[in-house]
């Protein structure tokens, strides 16, 4: 996978001095970090911290104002199509075609990723069976509940069996039970060797799922490390306290 030195030394994503400005607002300000292959990496921060903007730049949805990023050795600006071929993205807003069934949505997105029909069929069957979604998948998504919609949203991100998966607030709006179930599902991705980049403002979620966490505030990286190391460094029992110790504010304050 990939073609550059970044992929060779075990880092599948390399971000250097990434900046995104919207008029006079700096949404991401000089972000630099590396994400290892097979890592479950969490972007944690309050709403508006720049998490989604960072992911949008990495996925090729937004052009960086300055800086570079490579995914599997491919430059996100110059080799966007190659990057898009490697990644799966689960957006915050569950976006599916309402007049298609769950199965048809999955097959369509498999096709948009250039998969052959037999491979799509096999992959879709695996996904819906794993998620216990086989019956629901036969129905038009227009009648889906919010939870079912989010489940399908996640499966669409995985339909091409991507090596790198971006999950933008995957459990927002879910009840506690559905959230736990989704965590298990996301946790299983790590066992499959996938690199998962997760944005969340749920402290519990970041702690439970992430191998390493980048805490972002006002577009800047304010802490980076394993949850355990960060808590130890800041003499805290959780990442909320880590954030509080660094910024003097609570992550959930802005919600």
Partner 1 sequence: MNMRTMAALVAVELKKLYRAPMNLSVMLLMPIGLTLVFYFALSGVSNDYYPTPVTNHFEYLLPGVMGYAVIYMGMMVALSLSEYRSSGLLKRVEVTPVPPAIYLGSHIIANMIIAVVQALIVLLLAWILGFDPQGGVVGLLLASLFLALLGVTAVGLGMLVAAVAKDSGAASGLSAIFIVPMMMFGALLAVFDETTRTIARFMPNYYVSESLSVIFHTGRLSDPIIGRNLLILTAISLVIVTAGIQLFKRAEFK
Query: What residues line the site for partner 1 (CB under 8 A)?
Result: 59-63, 80-81, 84-85, 87, 89, 91, 93-100, 104, 108-109, 111-114, 140, 156
Shortest distance (Å) from residue 23 CB to partner 1 = 17
Residue carrying structure tokens 């402290």: 203
> In this complex, which beta carbon is closest to partner 1, that of residue 109 or of residue 243?
109
- Number of C-beta neighbours around residue 255 at 10 A: 8
Dihedral sign (CA 245, 247, 248, 251):
negative
Shortest distance (Å) from residue 137 CB to partner 1 = 16
Q: Tell me the CA distances in angstroms from 180 to 127, 229, 238, one per residue in order.
A: 18, 24, 18
> In this complex, which beta carbon is closest to partner 1, that of residue 7 or of residue 59?
59
> In this complex, which beta carbon is closest to partner 1, that of residue 97 or of residue 226?
97
> In this complex, which beta carbon is closest to partner 1, that of residue 93 or of residue 129?
93
> In this complex, which beta carbon is closest to partner 1, that of residue 154 or of residue 251?
154
Distance between CA atoms of residues 60 and 56, nearest Å: 6
Shortest distance (Å) from residue 164 CB to partner 1 = 12
> In this complex, which beta carbon is closest to partner 1, that of residue 108 or of residue 134?
108
> In this complex, which beta carbon is closest to partner 1, that of residue 94 or of residue 214?
94
Could you tell me where the beta strands, DSSP code E, fall in 23-178?
A: 25-36, 40-44, 66-71, 74-75, 87-90, 164-168
Q: Residues of 97-121 as b/e, b for ≥16 C-beta within 10 angstroms?
A: eeeebbbbbbbbbbeebebeeeebe
Shortest distance (Å) from residue 245 CB to partner 1 = 36
73 φ/ψ sector (left φ>0, alpha ψ -120 to 50, else beta): left
State the alpha helices, DSSP H only, in 49-116. Answer: 51-58, 80-86, 102-112
Shortest distance (Å) from residue 105 CB to partner 1 = 9
Shortest distance (Å) from residue 6 CB to partner 1 = 20
Shortest distance (Å) from residue 139 CB to partner 1 = 12
* 101: nearest Cα among 60, 135, 66, 57: 135
- Number of C-beta neighbours around residue 17 at 10 A: 13
């Amino acid at each position: 996978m990939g073609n550059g030195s970044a992929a060779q030394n075990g880092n599948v994503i390399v971000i250097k001095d990434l900046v995104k400005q919207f008029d006079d607002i700096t949404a991401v300000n000089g972000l630099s970090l590396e994400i290892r292959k097979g890592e479950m990496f969490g972007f944690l921060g309050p709403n508006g911290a720049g998490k989604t903007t960072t992911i949008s730049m990495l996925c090729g949805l937004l052009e960086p104002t300055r800086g570079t990023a490579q995914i599997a050795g491919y430059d996100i600006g110059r080799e966007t199509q190659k990057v898009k071929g490697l990644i799966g993205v689960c957006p915050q807003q569950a976006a599916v075609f309402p007049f298609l069934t769950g199965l048809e949505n999955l097959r369509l997105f498999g096709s948009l990723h250039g998969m052959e029909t037999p491979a799509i069929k096999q992959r879709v069957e695996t996904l819906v069976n794993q998620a216990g979604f086989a019956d629901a998948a036969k129905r038009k998504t227009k009648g889906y509940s919010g939870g079912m919609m989010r489940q399908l949203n996640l499966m669409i991100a995985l339909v091409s069996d991507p090596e790198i998966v971006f999950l933008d607030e995957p459990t927002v709006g879910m009840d506690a039970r559905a959230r736990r179930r989704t965590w298990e599902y996301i946790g299983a991705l790590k066992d499959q060797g996938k690199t998962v980049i997760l944005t969340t403002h749920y402290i519990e979620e970041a702690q439970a799922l992430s191998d390493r966490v980048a805490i972002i505030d006002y577009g800047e990286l304010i802490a980076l490390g394993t949850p355990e190391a960060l808590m130890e460094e800041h003499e805290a029992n959780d990442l909320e306290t880590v954030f509080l110790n660094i910024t003097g504010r609570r992550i959930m304050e802005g919600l």
